Amino acid sequence: MKKLYQEIEKKLEQGEKTALLTYIPQSGGSLEKKILDEAQADQELTLAAAQAFQKGYPLTVEQDNRTILVEPFYPKERLIILGGGHIALPLVEFAAKTGFSVTVADDRPSFANKERFPLADQVICETFDDCFDLLKLTEYDYVVVITRGHKHDALCLRKILSQKETVYLGMIGSKHRVNGIKQLLAEEGFDQERIGRICTPIGLPIGAITPEEISISILAEVIGRKRLGNKDKGSINRSEIDLNVLHTIGSQKTDTCSIVTVISTKGSVPRGAGAKMIVYPDRSISGSIGGGCSEAAVIWDAMSIIGTGKHEIKTIDLTGDVAESEGMVCGGIMKVLIEDMISHQ
């Protein structure tokens, strides 16, 4: 199993999305796992994977007396912040803490340095004309333009609009300033539809005033695009997978553990499909499927299959009298796959 997850992580690091197929027999037998590339000839599975990417979370397919779990994996979302001023400071902090890989670019050494942005994965000190050679924008990027002036904003937008369209593009500024830049770009021949998709005024309209409030409004809009998509590009990523757990599975030295994956949900549940948790013999865990009783309900089952090479599908009922008697506050149903780590070497 570790090699499989190492290969997935390698693809994600290269900026490629991929899907993992888990073949679950309906009566006995062992699990099989394949990365989508190995199943391209199977049209039904290829379509299922496309649907999983469109919906943004795992789904299951019934085929030949077995259930096939299709898990979509996406490269870690990169939030690119063009401009290292006062709004960038809280925006970098909040974005990093919500799972984004953050890159900041500014042409001023006093604003573009690692000491100023310790939580950023990359800080680029270059002119806004030259920084795009280092950024290498992809279709998975989220770009926030908060430079210090009209001239730099226009330059950044020209560079961005000349490349592959990113998931999100937002620009700060007054309505007059923004409309002027949009009109200028249209006169220069840039695609009117893409110009129209620039999120501006940037951020959700929450009446934000302080840099911290403005950064929250921006990040909320970015998260909304990540989780809800838009009418033009559809959903992007609603999976609950924690890429740190993915890395742990592929890199850990021990095989003495089991993996728990949420494969489907209904109603109000603490974590959605795609969430993973590693369970060790001493009852310690890595990752989470929601905490509290939802995890306690499966940890003992997960511990019992360690070293057996077996798997189990378990339904966790968080509704009605059952949930109330167990102290659960949610009201839905989670279906999880519990599998021994050594069953897929």
What is the rounded distance in angstroms from the CA atom of residue 313 to the CA atom of residue 267?
Answer: 19
* Three-class secondary structure of residue 296 per DSSP: helix
Per-residue pLDDT at 238? 72
Q: Phi-psi region for residue 298, left (φ > 0), alpha (ψ -120 to 50) or beta?
A: alpha
pLDDT confidence of residue 297: 76
Task: State residue 330's pLDDT score.
Answer: 59
In this prediction, residue 255 carries a pLDDT of 86
Q: Per-domain residue ranges for the chain?
A: 2-73+239-343, 78-228
Tens-digit pLDDT profile for residues 248-274: 999 988 889 999 999 988 888 888 889
The secondary structure element, H or E, covering residue 30 is none
- Look at residue 293 in the predicted model and tell me its pLDDT: 66
Q: Which of 286, 257, 263, 285 is nearest to 275 (CA)?
A: 263
pLDDT score, position 181: 92
Closest CA to 235 of 79, 19, 56, 15: 56
**What is residue 98's predicted lDDT score, i.e. its pLDDT?**
92
Spatial separation of the C-alpha atoms in residues 47 and 17, rounded to whole Å = 15
DSSP secondary structure string, 119-147? T-SEEEES-TTTHHHHH---TTEEEEE--
Convert 148-200 into a string of H (helix), E (strand) and C (coil). CCHHHHHHHHHHHHCCCCCCEEEECCCHHHHHHHHHHHHHCCCCHHHHHCCEC
C-alpha–C-alpha distance, residues 339 and 33, integer Å: 12
Closest CA to 141 of 120, 169, 163: 169
Side-chain half-sphere CA neighbours of 2 within 13 A: 12
Each of the 345 residues of the chain gets a pLDDT tens digit; together they read 888 899 999 988 887 888 898 999 887 778 989 887 534 545 666 777 788 887 888 888 888 888 889 998 888 889 999 999 999 999 999 999 998 999 999 999 999 999 999 999 999 999 999 999 999 998 889 999 999 988 999 999 999 999 999 999 999 988 888 889 999 999 999 999 999 999 998 999 999 999 999 999 999 999 999 888 775 555 567 778 888 898 999 998 888 999 999 998 888 888 888 999 999 999 999 999 987 766 887 999 999 999 999 999 999 887 754 445 455 455 688 899 999 988 654
Return all residues near 29 (Cβ < 8 A) that are at least 6 apart.
Answer: none
Q: What is the structure's pLDDT at 17?
A: 83
- H helices, E strands: number in the chain: 11, 14
pLDDT of residue 345: 45
Beta-strand relationship, 285-287 and 78-82: unpaired
Residue 118 host element (H or E): none
Tokens representing 257 are 């553990």
Q: Give one DSSP letter per residue of 205-254, joined into a string.
A: -S---SHHHHHHHHHHHHHHHHHH-BTTTB--------HHHHHHHHH-S-
Q: Which residues are paired to 6 by β-bridges?
A: none
Please tell us whether the domain made up of 78-228 is placed in CATH 3.20.20.70: no
Residues forming beta bridges with residue 334, ordered by sequence position: 265, 316
